[in-house]
């Protein structure tokens, strides 16, 4: 499960075909030993790794020159990471992972796409950045990392829409954290997912319909015109309350929940690029386009 923008990124492109999924009908029990929705999603992301490596969206060439793609608000909210152990779940090409490593963190990136992890490892070796990358489904992270624990669990924009079970995910996060460690996530605001793509001024979708939703769309948010074969994905529109409740139920203490009036990409046609993201044009009402959250595992780090 990769890193990229939601809707125009982690979810399939907004102009794709979307339908409410009945997974029991789509995938009769016994058809496969692998979760069929996860298999669809993994095939989708495996195929898009070469597109993302070559395209302008991720600008890997630019990253080689300046290996830091972190947003200013993330750096401020996560805080000092030098000397801390950080695991990046659903890391895709590992650009964020490597960015944290260049800031002094001892980083492990985890993703279910083997081609993405191979690309992240190659980039780390090329740049001489000390970071480790592991192929595993996010729900299997504890076992895949051998029970290792971390000071920070980080997950970036567009990760949560690929998770069917937030409570299971949150329990994984809790097990990955050392006492006193914290989860930090930044994500597209779920309210923004309900608005029309043209103007962002009309409610076009049901906020309470969390999915699963099946998307069918060719290409990628990084290259709309690319010819692709693995075009069907299964995704979720998790409400803000669902995310917070799952994290709290796992025993983590919410430190803050910040809502942001900017997006990292032009989610709506009317958004205007600024120095730190995309916002509605002057005179329009502001919208919650992203949110960020930090939650701590109770206890004190071992001496």
117 three-class SS: helix
CATH number of 68-209+237-296: 3.40.50.150
> How far is the C-alpha of 247 from the C-alpha of 156, rounded, in Å?
16
Report the C-alpha dihedral over residues 198, 203, 208, 210, rounded to 10 degrees: -10
- Regarding beta strands 85-89 and 106-111, do their DSSP bridges make them parallel or antiparallel, or are they unpaired? parallel
Residue spans per domain, the chain: 68-209+237-296
Instruction: Look at residues 93, 97, 92, 56 and name the one whose alpha carbon lies nearest to residue 74.
Output: 97
Taking the CA atoms of 18, 23, 25 and 27 in sequence, report the sign of the dihedral they define.
positive
Q: What confidence tier does 99 reach under pLDDT thresholds 50, 70, 90?
A: very high
* Cβ-proximal residues to 205 (8 Å cutoff; 6+ apart), any chain: 193, 194, 195, 237
For residue 127, name the pLDDT band (cuts at 50, 70, 90): very high
- Give the Cα separation of 53 and 119 in Å (integer): 8
Mark 235-271 as b/e (b = at least 16 C-beta within 10 Å): bbbbbbebbbebbeebebeeeeeeebebbbbebbebb
pLDDT tens digits, one per residue of 34-91: 588 999 999 999 999 999 999 888 999 999 999 999 999 999 999 999 999 999 999 9
Q: Per residue in 217-237, pLDDT tens?
A: 888 887 878 888 899 999 999
With a pLDDT cut of 70, the percent of the chain lying above it is 88
- Under 8 Å CB-to-CB from 77, ≥6 apart: which residues? 184, 256, 258, 292, 294
Q: What is the CA radius of gyration of the chain?
A: 18
Phi/psi region, residue 145 (left: phi>0; alpha: psi -120 to 50; beta: rest), is: alpha
Give the global pTM: 0.89
Mean pLDDT, range 261-276, rounded to an integer? 88
pLDDT at 115 over 80: yes
Q: Are 291 and 189 in contact (CB under 8 A)?
A: yes
The stretches of 139-206 forming alpha helices (DSSP H) are 141-144, 166-176, 190-193
């Amino acid at each position: 499960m990769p890193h990229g923008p939601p809707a125009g990124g982690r979810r399939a492109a907004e102009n794709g075909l979307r339908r409410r999924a009945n997974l029991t009908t789509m995938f009769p029990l016994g058809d496969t030993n692998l979760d069929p929705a996860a298999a669809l999603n993994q095939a989708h992301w495996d195929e898009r790794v070469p597109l993302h490596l070559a395209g302008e969206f991720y600008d890997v060439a630019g990253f080689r020159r300046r290996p830091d793609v972190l947003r200013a608000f993330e750096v401020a909210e996560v805080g000092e990471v030098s000397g801390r152990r950080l695991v990046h779940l659903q890391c895709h090409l590992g650009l964020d992972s490597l960015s944290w490593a260049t800031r002094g963190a001892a980083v492990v990136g985890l993703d279910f796409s083997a081609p993405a992890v191979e690309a992240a490892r190659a980039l780390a070796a090329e740049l001489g950045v000390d970071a480790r990358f592991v192929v595993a489904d996010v729900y299997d992270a504890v076992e895949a990392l051998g029970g290792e624990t971390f000071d920070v669990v980080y997950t970036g924009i567009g990760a949560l829409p690929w998770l069917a079970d937030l409570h299971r995910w949150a329990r994984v996060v809790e097990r990955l954290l050392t006492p006193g460690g914290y989860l930090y996530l930044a994500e597209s605001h779920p309210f923004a997912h309900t608005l029309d793509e043209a103007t962002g001024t009309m409610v076009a979708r049901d906020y309470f319909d969390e999915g699963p939703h099946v998307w069918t769309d060719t290409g990628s948010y990084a290259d709309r015109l690319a010819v692709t074969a693995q075009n069907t994905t299964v995704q979720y529109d998790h409400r803000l309350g669902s995310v917070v409740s799952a994290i709290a139920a796992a025993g983590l203490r919410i430190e803050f929940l910040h809502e942001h009036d900017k997006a990292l990409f032009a989610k709506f046609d009317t958004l205007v690029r600024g120095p730190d993201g995309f916002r509605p044009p002057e005179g329009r009402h502001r919208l919650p386009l992203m949110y960020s959250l930090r939650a701590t595992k109770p206890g004190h780090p071992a001496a």
